Structure 1
Amino acid sequence: MGIRSLLSRPLAKYIVQQQREWMARSVEVQEKWRLELVAKAAGTEFGKDHFFKDIQTYSDFRQAVPVSDYEDLKGYVAKIKEGQNDILWPGKPLYFAKTSGTTSGTKYIPISKDSISNHINSARNAILTYIDETGKSAFLDKKLIFLSGSPVLTDTGGVLTGRLSGISNHHVPAYLRSNQMPSYETNCIEDWETKLDKIIDETLHQPMSLISGIPPWVQMYFDRIIERTGKKVKDVFPDFSLFIYGGVNFEPYKAKLFESIGKRIDSIELYPASEGFFAYQNVQDDEGLLLLLNTGIFYEFIPVEHFFDENPPRLSIGEVEVGKNYAVIVNNNAGLWGYSLGDTVKFVSTNPYKILVTGRIKHFISAFGEHVIGEEVEKALRYALERHPEVEVIEFTVAPMVNSADGGLPYHEWLVEFAKMPVNMEAFLADIDRRLTELNIYYKDLIQGSILRQLQLVPLRKNAFIDYMRANGKLGGQNKVPRLSNDRKIADELIALNRS
């Protein structure tokens, strides 16, 4: 057993014990963070504008701090970008995490000296929790790869700026630097496909034991390895034993990824974002993610069905219920206040508080009043995949077809890139549709009322989604295709690319 593996075990035990302590008093811990965040930011411009010095109770907080998105905070961020201090959080951010937005263009999400530990320590703790649960630590002594964005940072008003994954790269612990891959030089390559080929050059003959990244880009890495070697990933990397992922629902990618690997291996799901590292899988046989309630974030939750109300209810952690979908609101020690992530989650446990990420609040189809959400289409697809085990799906998205070319009833159009097609496509579609009607009563009513007909599916050519992402300058990194759209923009672009 190597030194890294050996030393990780007592540290893992210590971290898990700390975790148990705050889990046992989650509601109290969250209230402590609310008080601490408000007190520390009272002298900032945002704190003065919103009378933080007068806030005492959670009711006071809800009245003083409105639910916001990036557009609402953009004016404050602009002042930080001009070099001003004490705007959203005391002092100046340590970093800006640059992300792309649909309405706001490029977003600059502040990461402070106080909040950086949330990003770095949470990723570390996810691995240590796995080590403590399974007793497996030998993977730390071999090579580890983190498929991420470029670590090159620029300057914005005196604040270092870059992608979150690139920022995180600068904080990889020294004891892991010597076995981290790819090299810094390769990681700095901006073009994803050039970078991917170079990563393969560097890793092909290395004892890779841990691979981490967003599933579609990891799949692309695996595909290139198989093309180059003619072997399954397990035969190229016999030491590969742990896959860490986040960013998208793993289920639609699982069959293809494990088929590419050639064996089942352990995996850890993470829930990171530029705004914070929110949860991770802390038990191998439990799909629920442990919500991290003691890392400098005060969470609020809005029931999804009320999110677009004029005055939606805002719930603290002690008020949530199992089985309900909520929009996530965060207040953190980098200066995000009442900030709507745009994500929806469902609690699967409140002792401890564990969640599933169910979709995006703005990613839905309701062209006909059905309000179908991401969780529902992913569950329906999973149901069909279980009934048709020969099928492998690489990627998919769903959009409404209001005016069909044949003049018939409208429908939901699924655009799917298959690795392996269904033997019986008609039965496959019927299974998806059947499960969707069970999951969404409004969709069922529309089908039974002959307002909609059964979904239709367009099989896309190989690499259709990769070509779409490339055409939109979003190939690689942390980018992903929305699973649901309430318009035809993505669908029509994919169909046009499919014909070219």
Structure 2
Amino acid sequence: MSLAESWADPGRVRRYRERVLTERARLRSAFADPEGHQRAVLADLLEFNSGTEYGKRHGFGAIRTLDDYRKAVPVQTYADLEPWIERAAAGETGVLTADQPAVFFTSSGSTGAHKKIPVTPRFMRTTFFPFYYAAWAPLIEHFPDVLQHPGAVLNLKHDPLAAPPTTASGRPHVGASQVDFGERFGEPLSAEPGTGAPWATLPVPVEAGEHLEKMYLRLRLAVENDVRCVIGINPAMVAALPYQLNLWWPRIVKEIRDGTLGGHPHGAPDPERAAALDRLAERHGTVRPSHIWPRMRAIFCWTTGLARLYLPRLREQFGPGVTVLPAPVAASEGPVGVALDRHPSAGSLVVTASVYEFADADEDLAPDTATLGPHELEPGRDYHVVFSHVGGLYRYAVGDVVRVVDHDGGVPRLEYTGRGNRSDHAGERLRDAQVVRAVETALRAGGLELHNVACRVDRSRYEFAVAPRTPWNDEERERFTARLDDALRGESAGYRQARDGNRLGAPSLLCLDADAFLRDWQRTVAVGTRPTQVKDRLFRQDPEQWARLTEGTPTSNEPLGRNEP
């Protein structure tokens, strides 16, 4: 049975719903004894992998407690584990894990280099699938009509490959959204909503690396369906959708009129539908998702980081009653938090998936960094995430920073705030989260809104490029820049000291047109980067990338003359 047929089967949909809600209930029940579950996860990964080369070298067989484990295994990054991972990718057995990786997930990380994340059957069964099913519970519970028919969900991240790239051992090296979990791991129910849509497997030929063309073809087909939900995970993909609708609208309408798809015959010509779409665009002067899909109910994507600045207004383009549900706090390497209700940003720690440790986000991580347990986390604080799981990642610093929102049901609820890397030109040590909060404070104080923002250090001052939602006048620009400077001082002691010591000048502002970041996103995808990996990036120090983003923009405003070096 094809995915389209399975998603059209009421019995399959019922079983999927039951599995999703059951996994959420199991996770909630685990919150009654989170520390006990953490001890069980540690004991399992140690016992299962004690006979591996890594396990023998680090004495897994003799470890009994988390303190023992901390002494035996340092905090480490991908670079530390990479030699071990490469050996496994080449086909060597018993290196990091007792079972062989069945696939290697790609992850671009903060440097853009493609990592190889080992994915073993045991990891999928004990760590991944329980959290993965539970993540869909709020959507399935509160918006059941998104499963009404296979074409009700536009899953922007679903991108199956007929011939995936492989490692030296022949294992697929692909993104998580490119793996058929049913075929690879024997989990037929694991196919996501939207994977049975008419555009999930494109019916016309297109090269694997032609990502923009694939996005166009899916959008062209989706326009003729009753879409109720958009799944993006990466919010930049969701933000691109209204832009792409308008960019490709003439081509979409022509192909519907002609009965073609990407220039290939597809269905019967439909001049009446094409004429109606033309009138729709003329009536509104623009094309919004809400015009095409008036019964849209929900968007599923990350709601924090830079997205928190633009998602409220973006949501309105999809419809006045549309709900944005937060995707899990997770990476290709493993899960951290999952939203079990309709909280707008935070997810509960997945205590059954990994052993979790945390460290103050303002401190640098080192192999011997002292870490905290989940029960020691304080609401309103930012932390580095370090996790260990049976899939071969041990005391792994994933590079993400989370903020503790509260404790609910016995475990912390966390929201992703950004990557852990810093911008540090003069001792300011600025993190993503600090700058995003400062920008948000400065916007709110002046009643301003924007589509996106980036920054760099130029001539010992921070230059901010913003795409205002509506034009800002000179006074608004000056006030925003001054408020931003003050807010950065409040967020970071290092920034405040660098400004007071004249090591940093006052920030400057460069106002771009409304579509500048969307054009930059399109160009990045056009040169071959998968859309799921083209994420919002705040710090952009690369001169070529900055020039590409800001090309055609007038010279930035003069900075305010306060404490100039």
Distance 1:106 1:75 in 2: 14
1:266-316 CA distance string (max 9 Å, x none):
122122311013222223245322111112x11121223333456310223
Distance 2:312 2:21 in 1: 33
User: Which deviates more, 312-321 or 20-29?
Assistant: 312-321
Counterpart contact for 2:87–2:95, Cα < 8 Å: yes
The 5 A counterparts of 1:10-89 are: 13-89=21-97
1:218-273 CA distance string (max 9 Å, x none):
22122222452633211211221111113962212314412422424112212231
Q: Does 1:495 align with 2:547?
A: yes
Q: Does 1:223 align with 2:240?
A: no
The 5 A counterparts of 1:462-477 are: 462=516, 463-466=518-521, 469-470=524-525, 473-474=528-529, 476-477=531-532
The 5 A counterparts of 1:281-430 are: 281-295=339-353, 297-309=354-366, 311-350=368-407, 351-362=410-421, 364-389=422-447, 391-393=449-451, 395-401=452-458, 403=459, 410-423=460-473, 424-430=476-482
- Relative to structure 1, the CA distance from residue 172 to residue 383 in structure 2 (aligned partners, 3 Å threshold; closer, same or farther) is farther
Distance 1:104 1:129 in 2: 32
Deviation at 1:355? 0.9
Counterpart contact for 2:99–2:121, Cα < 8 Å: no
User: Which deviates more, 210-219 or 274-283?
Assistant: 274-283
Counterpart contact for 2:211–2:528, Cα < 8 Å: no
Task: Find 1:434's aligned residue among 457, 462, 486.
Answer: 486
Distance 1:108 1:291 in 2: 25
Deviation at 1:208? 0.7
Distance 2:449 2:214 in 1: 30
1:182-237 CA distance string (max 9 Å, x none):
32237974222111210111100111111111111222122222452633211211
The 5 A counterparts of 1:193-232 are: 193-213=212-232, 214-227=234-247, 228=249, 230=281, 231-232=287-288
- Relative to structure 1, the CA distance from residue 237 to residue 121 in structure 2 (aligned partners, 3 Å threshold; closer, same or farther) is farther
Counterpart contact for 1:216–1:253, Cα < 8 Å: no
Distance 2:382 2:368 in 1: 18
Deviation at 1:30? 0.8
Partner AA of 1:322 in structure 2: P
Partner AA of 2:379 in structure 1: V
- Structure with the largest fraction of strand: 1
Report SS of the residue matched to 2:510.
strand
Partner AA of 2:97 in structure 1: W
Deviation at 1:34? 0.6
Counterpart contact for 1:150–1:189, Cα < 8 Å: no
Counterpart contact for 1:151–1:169, Cα < 8 Å: no
1:122-181 CA distance string (max 9 Å, x none):
33312224444x4x3122214112212632223320322211221267667369577436
Q: Does 1:124 align with 2:170?
A: no
Q: Does 1:185 align with 2:197?
A: no
Deviation at 1:39? 0.7
Distance 1:243 1:302 in 2: 32
- Relative to structure 1, the CA distance from residue 209 to residue 119 in structure 2 (aligned partners, 3 Å threshold; closer, same or farther) is farther
Q: Does 1:275 align with 2:333?
A: yes
Partner AA of 2:209 in structure 1: E
Q: Does 1:139 align with 2:197?
A: no
Normalising by structure 1, what TM-score?
0.87
Q: Which has the larger radius of gyration?
A: 2
Partner AA of 1:477 in structure 2: T
Counterpart contact for 2:44–2:390, Cα < 8 Å: no
Normalising by structure 2, what TM-score?
0.78
- How many correspondences in the alignment? 485
Q: Which residue of 2 aligns with 1:406?
A: none
Unaligned runs of 5+ in 1: 404-409
Partner AA of 2:461 in structure 1: Y
- Relative to structure 1, the CA distance from residue 178 to residue 379 in structure 2 (aligned partners, 3 Å threshold; closer, same or farther) is closer
Q: Which residue of 2 aligns with 1:94?
A: 102
Distance 2:34 2:367 in 1: 30
User: Which deviates more, 255-264 or 169-178?
Assistant: 169-178
Distance 2:485 2:188 in 1: 45
- Relative to structure 1, the CA distance from residue 411 to residue 471 in structure 2 (aligned partners, 3 Å threshold; closer, same or farther) is farther
Distance 1:376 1:369 in 2: 15
Partner AA of 1:246 in structure 2: W
User: Which deviates more, 415-424 or 341-350?
Assistant: 415-424
Distance 1:441 1:57 in 2: 37
Distance 2:344 2:324 in 1: 11
Unaligned runs of 5+ in 2: 1-8, 250-276, 282-286, 553-565
Percent identity for Structure 1 against Structure 2: 20
- Relative to structure 1, the CA distance from residue 310 to residue 114 in structure 2 (aligned partners, 3 Å threshold; closer, same or farther) is closer
Counterpart contact for 1:429–1:456, Cα < 8 Å: yes
Distance 1:389 1:288 in 2: 26
1:73-132 CA distance string (max 9 Å, x none):
122122212212111111211110122356693211011112224444433312224444
Deviation at 1:467? 5.7
Deviation at 1:495? 2.4
Distance 1:206 1:224 in 2: 17
